[in-house]
Chain A
């Protein structure tokens, strides 16, 4: 089966750092995506990991450990506009993307 777990909700303070974890169990693995989704809008691409290690892109970084079935998204210097849902998705090769339920992040002043 396919299973992707991530926390339902997180709260963090403006200017702080937050780490959103994702664990996965899928029948295959060809890469892991992180998407940001503001309420009522479509998901937008943040990062893609296919090899182990850290990928950094500005204030956002994503880490992957394939042996542990684990990834995290790191957001630095949080801004109010970062309040959104963050979706972890695995490309297993059998279906385009298998998504987790998403983590709703609230950034507070």
Chain B
């Protein structure tokens, strides 16, 4: 079975641009969560979606938004990029009602 997949693997953007990151969960998983991991830190929760609705939101500015599609895949959008947005963005999927999160390989975003 395929695990969580994310695209792109790497991305370089400049300040002020916007970016869209994509995630496909494990088949059968309806919950998707997004995390930001800055170098040397643990992942920080950004959003959780299931059944296409936002179920949780971390302490991130409104420049960050996300959505979930009918096939349970998800997109994370970040507008007006800042240098501090440079990080590894991780997507994790889980079965609704369970706690274990399965992580994708991440998207490495570099903002210049």
Contact = CB atoms under 8 A, between A and B. Distances in A.
A99 B44 contact: yes
Contact of A48 (B33, B35, B90, B99): B99
A99 B41 CA distance: 9
Interface in A57-96: 87, 89, 91, 94-96
Contact of B101 (A4, A30, A97, A100): A97
Nearest to A99: B42
B33 A96 contact: yes
Contacts of B88: 40
A31 B58 CA distance: 19
B42 to A, nearest CB: 3
Nearest to A94: B56
Interface in B40-82: 40-45, 48, 56, 58
A94 B100 CA distance: 15
A95 B103 contact: no
B92 interface: yes
Interface in A35-58: 35, 40-45, 48
A6 to B, nearest CB: 9
B94 interface: yes
Please classify how large the interface on chain B is, using the bins under 10, 10 to 19, 20 to 34, 35 or more. 20 to 34
B106 interface: yes
Interface in B16-40: 33, 35, 40
A33 interface: yes
A103 to B, nearest CB: 10
A42 B105 contact: yes
Contact of A42 (B44, B48, B99, B104): B104
A100 B40 CA distance: 11
B41 A101 contact: yes
Which of B45, B88, B99 has the largest count of A CB atoms less than 10 A from its CB? B99
A109 to B, nearest CB: 25
Interface of A: 4, 30-31, 33, 35, 40-45, 48, 87, 89, 91, 94-102
Top 3 A-B pairs ranked by shortest CB distance?
Answer: A99-B42, A42-B103, A96-B33
